[in-house]
Amino acid sequence: MKIGILANKNKVKDENTILALTEFLKNNGHTTVRFFAPTEIDGVDVLIVLGGDGAILHSAVISARKNIKIIGINYGTLGFLTEYEKSERDLIQDLLSQLEKGECRILKRSIIEVAVLGHTFYALNEIALQRDNGLRTTKDSQIMKLFVETQSGSDVIAGDGVLFCTPTGSTAYSLSAGGAILVPEVPVFMMTPICAFSMRARPIVFADSEEITVRIGRGNSILLCDGVTIAKLPEGTELRIKKAPFTADFPVRDGSDFFAKVRNKLNS
């Protein structure tokens, strides 16, 4: 197989680590390509990411759109999305062999899409719509008002904003904001209010076949995709949110246990 290697230079500072992985893969019959930035990702069957969850998030959408599978080796702090710890590097060949034979499970993680102001953006974890104090004048309210329309009905959310997350993102920002943990394979999205002004505002789970419309009724805001600021949005802006037509595919090794990961990674 043709395998790309992308390392977070802030986490993997020893070049010999990458050279050793490259040599290991070549000795096992693979062709390797070194990428130095996510924008370079192209023309490989599998991308091996050396870093933490941030490095995978920066690579996931680009890889997904090019049908490139992702395997992470944790060199970060949490590594919830990675399949291996750095001490397990040599075990990766077992998974690659199973992948070549079509014998390993592929976890297809859904990606969320948002269309706004004539542009389309994607996120593996979540889309966040938050109030922007930097844009606020003395005449503006500190509380945002958002009008949400779905196939199931409509609602008004007042507060600091709202998150729309995938099952993958349910263990990230949404969890900190009071959302539930979702198993990665379930075909749903979750809407999680951020510091809501009403006690009745609670996370709501939708089928990911729905298209959700959000209109900013009051307050200037910022749009973030996977933690990256994408745009500043004025009052009256409308966003359309739905499931992307592609998935981020993660080969999974035998014995992978989501609940064990939750216990071990999120219980610190």
The per-residue pLDDT for range 126-173, each reduced to its tens digit, is: 999 998 876 555 555 578 899 999 988 899 999 999 999 999 999 999
**Helix (H, G, I), strand (E, B), or coil: what is residue 196?**
coil
Q: What are phi and psi of 55, to 5 degrees?
A: -65, -40
| Max CA distance (Å), the chain | 66
Contacts of 149 (CB under 8 A, 6+ apart): 212, 213, 214, 215
Report pLDDT digits (tens) over 104-125: 999 999 999 999 999 999 999 9
In angstroms, rounded to a whole number, what is the distance separating the alpha carbons of residues 18 and 115? 38
Whether 53 is catalytic: yes
Q: What is the pLDDT of residue 201?
A: 82
Q: For residues 185 and 167, is the Cβ–Cβ distance under 8 A?
A: yes
Q: Which residue is associated with the tokens 């959700």?
A: 212
Instruction: Tell me how far apart the alpha carbons of residues 128 and 114 are, in angstroms, rounded to a whole number.
Output: 10
Reported as a single tens digit per residue, the pLDDT across 33-57 is 999 999 999 999 999 999 999 999 9
Residue 94 CA to residue 127 CA, distance in Å, equals 35
| Two tokens, residue 253 | 């090794």
For residues 68 and 56, is the Cβ–Cβ distance under 8 A?
Answer: no
Mean pLDDT of 18-46: 96
Q: What is the C-alpha to C-alpha distance for residues 151 and 211, in angstroms, rounded to an integer? A: 7
CA terminus-to-terminus distance, the chain: 37
State the DSSP code for 192.
E
Task: Say what the pTM is.
Answer: 0.92
Q: What percent of the chain is modeled with pLDDT above 70?
A: 97
Range with the lowest mean pLDDT among 29-38, 179-188, 258-267?
258-267
Per-residue pLDDT reduced to its tens digit, 57-84 = 999 999 999 999 999 999 988 889 999 9
Question: Is residue 249 a contact partner of residue 107, using CB atoms and an 8 Å limit?
Answer: yes
Cβ contact 164:112 at 8 Å: yes
- Choose the catalytic residue: 14, 42, 45, 53: 53
Angstrom distance (rounded) from CA 112 to CA 256: 25
pLDDT, tens only, 163-173: 999 999 999 99
